[in-house]
Amino acid sequence: MAEPESAAAAVSARVKSLFIYPIKSCRGISVSEASLSSTGFRWDRQWMVISSKGRAITQRVEPMLALIQVELPTEAFCEDWEPSNNSYLVVRAPGMDVLKVPLSKPRETSDGVSLWDWSGSAFDEGDEPSKWFSSFLQKPCHLVRFNEVNETRAVDPNYAHGYKIMFSDATQFLILSQGSLDELNKLLKEPVSANRFRPNILVDGCEPFSEDLWKEININKLTFHSVLLCYRCKVPTVNQETAAVGSEPNETLRTFRSDEVLRPNKKQRGRVYFGQCLVCSDSITDVKEKIIRVGDPVYALKSVSSPSEAAA
């Protein structure tokens, strides 16, 4: 593959892994290639579990979501693929029967669905998924799908203007480097996997925390802009294999990745940073091919000199 004309510099890193999280806060799917939609990777955070009051349920309050495995048809990650009447989102969890959710759009909607400061309507996947999730989490739940026909959820314009997401927390993508993870694991008694941090794009071949400094990157001729350093909630403290909650890795991260350390001259918010949040400017254009693959080179087109200069 030829280098993009705008990338005069050498390759900064390569895509090591790609992850898509169809149901917010449930396990991700590792894929060899991922196609872009107007809201991020296709299928990413398109579904969400909500309470009886319509509020989002995440691992912050229900760590057991980490044990829920999600599958989509392999071909679903190919560009331009469309589901048939026999296409399903397959959901598994310990002690539960397999749940199959048709990928055809539901007819029913739920009003008053809320996530952070957004509220609106969403497609309701119906009684069977509701009973399944309610049984597993031991509380009344519904599974809903983002209603892109009637709803728009914008990225906070203070971060990036004109971009859309579905049920992601804040932005379209999260990038993390293997070097940063390796550096963290040198300090931990028990190393952690990348799944603690739920990245969409894991890169390798760069110096630790290089992603802090990237302001604009190019992957397969698609341009990604950094939006803000990702500040971490309690989710990284949830063991994604057992759902057990501890104090690490956040406790260790606080010793060298806090705003006090990285951004001493900025307003202190008690935050801990790990990874970078991105949007893709080509998600809102008519670029012909919108796909990235494992192994693709990553070109850093614009950078800042220190984390204190990055948006956060």
117 pLDDT band, cuts 50/70/90, is very high
220 contacts 7 by C-beta, under 8 angstroms: no
- Check pLDDT > 60 for residue 141: yes
284 pLDDT band, cuts 50/70/90, is confident
What residues contact 81, with CB distance under 8 A and at least 6 apart? 73, 75
Measure the CA–CA gap between 260 and 80, rounded to whole angstroms: 46
Q: What is the pLDDT of residue 288?
A: 74
Which residue do the tokens 């509220």 mark? 119
Which residue do the tokens 């001259």 mark? 265
Q: What is the pLDDT of residue 80?
A: 85
Name the DSSP class of 94.
T
What residues contact 146, with CB distance under 8 A and at least 6 apart? 45, 46, 47, 48, 122, 123, 153, 166, 167
Q: Residues 31-41: pLDDT tens digits?
A: 999 999 999 99
Measure the CA–CA gap between 272 and 195, rounded to whole angstroms: 17
- Classify 176 as helix, strand or coil: strand
66 pLDDT band, cuts 50/70/90, is very high
Measure the CA–CA gap between 183 and 258, rounded to whole angstroms: 15
308 contacts 22 by C-beta, under 8 angstroms: no
Q: Residues 201-255: pLDDT tens digits?
A: 999 999 999 999 999 999 999 999 999 999 999 999 999 999 999 999 999 999 9
- Classify 255 as helix, strand or coil: helix
- Check pLDDT > 90 for residue 305: yes
Q: What is the pLDDT of residue 22?
A: 98
Helices (H), the chain: 127-137, 178-185, 250-256, 259-262
- Check pLDDT > 50 for residue 79: yes
Q: Residues 172-212: pLDDT tens digits?
A: 999 999 999 999 999 999 999 999 999 999 999 999 999 99
Measure the CA–CA gap between 34 and 32, rounded to whole angstroms: 7
**What is the enclosing helix (H) or strand (E) of 262?**
helix 259-262
Q: What is the 3-state secondary structure (H, E, C) of 225-243?
A: EEEEEEECCCHHHECCCCC
- Check pLDDT > 70 for residue 9: no
Name the DSSP class of 198.
-
What residues contact 233, with CB distance under 8 A and at least 6 apart? 60
Q: What is the pTM of this model?
A: 0.95
Sequence ranges of the domains in the chain = 13-309
Burial (0-12, 13-18, 19+ Cβ within 10 Å), 93: buried
Measure the CA–CA gap between 107 and 100, rounded to whole angstroms: 17
* 134 backbone dihedrals φ, ψ, rounded to 5°: -65, -40
**What is the enclosing helix (H) or strand (E) of 132?**
helix 127-137
